[in-house]
Amino acid sequence: MHDTDYTFGTPDDPASGQDKRRQYRLTARAQAMLELEAGYPASEGVVASPLRKIVCGVRDISASGLCLLTQKDLSVGALHPMSVKLVNYAEPFVLMVEVSWCRPAEDGYRVGVKIIQSDQTAYVEWADAVASAIEPP
């Protein structure tokens, strides 16, 4: 990783004491793909439904969550499968996330998601990747 790939916080972060996260946040060059609705094949009497996904920008990351930039309002408490592509990693991290908050922003919505620990996801690998970005070279 390079120092230019990650930075600590952003200029418009909440004032001290207003942020409820317990971990450092990193701003990162990343892209996320959030699954909104699972697809299913056609069956007798039922029309097939395609998988619905949206591409999200990533404002910042931590070991336990992300702040996403979306064009869609997401429901608080909703669970979504998500993949996140970080620079310097060949494969995306497949994660399960829960929407913690969603706020209108000047360019769509800012959405805070919490990563849910699950055996079928890259939860541990994600935490390791974020930790290695925080460690000094």
Written as one letter, the residue type at 69 is L
Token pair for 8 = 């600590």
Token pair for 98 = 């829960």
Strand partners, 8: 26
Contact between 5 and 88 (Cβ < 8 Å): yes
Tell me yes or no: is domain 3-10+21-38+48-134 CATH 2.40.10.220.
Answer: yes
Strand partners, 34: 54, 82
| For the chain, domain boundaries | 3-10+21-38+48-134
* Pairwise CA distance, residues 20 & 62, whole Å: 13
Confidence of residue 41 (pLDDT cuts 50, 70, 90): low
- Give the pTM: 0.74
| pLDDT, tens digit (0-9, with 9 covering 90-100), for 51-103 | 689 999 998 888 899 999 999 999 999 999 999 998 888 999 999 999 999 99
* Pairwise CA distance, residues 120 & 96, whole Å: 9
From residue 120, alpha-carbon distances to 11, 22, 39, 93, 116 in Å are 35, 25, 19, 11, 11
Contact between 113 and 97 (Cβ < 8 Å): yes
Q: Using the predicted structure, report yes or no on whether residue 21 has a pLDDT greater than 90.
A: no
Q: Is the dihedral of CA 72, 78, 83, 86 positive or negative?
A: positive
* Pairwise CA distance, residues 7 & 115, whole Å: 20
Q: Using the predicted structure, report yes or no on whether residue 3 has a pLDDT greater than 60.
A: no
